[in-house]
Amino acid sequence: MKEQRDIATPSRTREILAKHGFTFKKSLGQNFLTDPNILRNIVAAGDIDQDTNVIEVGPGIGALTEYLARAAHQVVAFEIDDRLLPVLADTLSPYDNVSVIHQDILQARIDHVLQEQFTNDGRPVKVVANLPYYITTPIMMHFLDSKVEIAEMIVMMQKEVADRISAKPGTKAYGSLSIAVQYYMEASVAFIVPKTVFVPQPNVDSAILKLTRRPQPAVDVINEKAFFGLTKAAFLQRRKTFWNNLQSYYGKDEATKAWLQQSLKEAEIDPIRRGETLSLEEFARLSNVMEANKK
């Protein structure tokens, strides 16, 4: 593997963009990292080594891909922008353990990708991505909903979104997104990435969020769909009480109100609380009681 100059320096990034005549598409939320230290820290945060297989989303011109290729056993990168395919073929040519797939990750069957791309060697699969702000949540939920064994996700996103995902009950940032992710994964912010290290420079700082899959979901629920429905209901309008939001979501007829009141009583949850004060355990307890009380 011949050594080459890092892709992720301002001068080399400019050189690559000029060579290929590449222009940024705002609609794809493209912001390329130009700081090798940040890339080293991302690889370190994910504990990426020769015993790791990696799925990368949105490799851009290959700045992070290069660091992943140097550290990991194998890397499969999904790139939606066909204009970047020849760029990646050029910049990643020294690395024979990288495959680039031209596909929208949201359309990909993750289970098929794992079977086709990675040798069945028992190595853990980790997702590493610098996600466009406008599509951060759908991409994360796509991986979580796929039910495939993703050991960890190391994801760069808008700092505000990372704060929401890792938020604890009783904080302003806590909401249905926090619960949806923390049900499957342990979430923590690894470090902040200043907006100054990107080309073009975004308007806000980013954060690296580390998500580690739990051996089993954080709480035991009878019906996952009903549980997630309940957590969405709780945050319909943050200023309203839990009771008002439940009525808005489930209905205000007498039978529904009686069902909700009985369930809240059995689950020992005060209806005048606000949704953001309830823990995952409390949501699970109420969801299970509601299921049991369904007529």
pLDDT of res. 144: 86
Residue 5 in domain:
no
The answer to whether 229 is annotated as binding is no
- Assess whether 14 and 119 both reside in one domain: yes
List, in sequence order, every residue forming a beta bridge with 157; answer none if it has no partner.
207
Query: Domain range spanning residue 261?
Result: 224-293
pLDDT of res. 295: 67
Provide the CATH number for the domain around residue 17. 3.40.50.150
Tell me if 231 sits within 8 A of 202, measured CB to CB.
no
The answer to whether 104 is annotated as binding is yes
* Residue 208 tokens, joined: 């690296």
- Assess whether 246 and 269 both reside in one domain: yes
The answer to whether 41 is annotated as binding is no
- Assess whether 185 and 118 both reside in one domain: yes
Q: Which of 213, 237, 252 is the last residue of a domain?
A: 213
Residue 3 in domain:
no
Q: Which of 191, 213, 235 is the last residue of a domain?
A: 213
The answer to whether 203 is annotated as binding is no
CA distances from 39 to 8, 75, 215, 294 (A): 8, 15, 28, 51
- Assess whether 264 and 124 both reside in one domain: no
pLDDT of res. 17: 92
Q: What percent of the chain has pLDDT over 70?
A: 98
pTM for the full predicted model: 0.88
Provide the CATH number for the domain around residue 247. 1.10.8.100
Residue ranges of the chain whose pLDDT lies below 70: 1-4, 120, 295
The answer to whether 79 is annotated as binding is yes
**Half-sphere exposure at residue 175, Cβ-oriented, CA atoms within 13 angstroms:** 15
- Assess whether 152 and 231 both reside in one domain: no
What are the strands, taking DSSP E only, across 42-184? 53-57, 74-78, 98-101, 125-130, 150-158
The answer to whether 130 is annotated as binding is yes
- Assess whether 141 and 257 both reside in one domain: no
